[in-house]
Amino acid sequence: MDREKTKWTRQQEDAIVARGRDVLVTASAGTGKTMVLSGRCVGIVAEKNTGVNVGNVLVLTFTDAAAEQMRSRIGRQLKEAYLETKDSYLLGQLLQLAGADISTIHSFCKRLITEYFYKLGLDPTFRVIDEDEQQMLKAEVLEKTIGWAWDQSNLTEGL
């Protein structure tokens, strides 16, 4: 696996192999966070005795590109582990990867709202506003707010 081919720092290796506790991985761009986290995911799901399979792992990122990169790296590392060991369990994990919950925070939240709208008391036809509509609404609210402020005698001088 990549973990064996990559020269990890002690902290990176600790984050990859830590079990039974949460791990916070924070570092600047380009320092290997995605590789560390994908290695951690693969390490956890590759251990048969954990009872964790890739379909039960939640991986959240900030961008679609990062989510796709994470899915790709996990897939590559699972494939490498399978090719090294020929363990059918790892092949099963690799096959389940397409259904794994690896997405942006926004996509995950939208999916939860879509699935549980009735518990939240929301209209099932809700949708996420697109960027153009968002800009129009912001401009409209700003215009109304400025108009309201001009009508306030105590604010006029400051405007």
The single-letter code of the amino acid at 54 is V
The confidence score (pLDDT) of residue 30 equals 84
Give percent of the chain with pLDDT exceeding 70. Answer: 97
39 closest CA partner among 116, 147, 110, 11: 11
Q: Are 62 and 104 in contact (CB under 8 A)?
A: yes
What are the C-alpha distances in Å from 145 to residues 7, 45, 115, 127, 158? 56, 53, 36, 26, 14
Neighbours of 85 (CB within 10 A): 13
d(CA 92, CA 52): 12
- pTM for the whole thing? 0.72
d(CA 153, CA 159): 10
d(CA 73, CA 6): 14
Q: Are 159 and 150 in contact (CB under 8 A)?
A: yes
The more confidently predicted of residues 158 and 111 is 111
The confidence score (pLDDT) of residue 1 equals 47
So where are the chain's domains? 2-128, 129-159
d(CA 73, CA 35): 7
pLDDT band at 145 (very low <50, low <70, confident <90, very high): very high
pLDDT in tens, 113-136: 999 999 999 998 888 888 999 999
Encoded tokens for 5: 């081919």
pLDDT in tens, 57-99: 899 988 899 899 999 999 999 999 999 999 999 999 999 999 9
pLDDT in tens, 35-62: 898 999 998 988 888 888 898 889 998 8
The single-letter code of the amino acid at 16 is I
What are the residues whose beta carbons fall under 8 Å from the beta carbon of 61, sequence distance 6 or more?
67, 70, 102, 103, 104, 105
Does domain 2-128 fall into CATH 3.40.50.300? Answer: yes
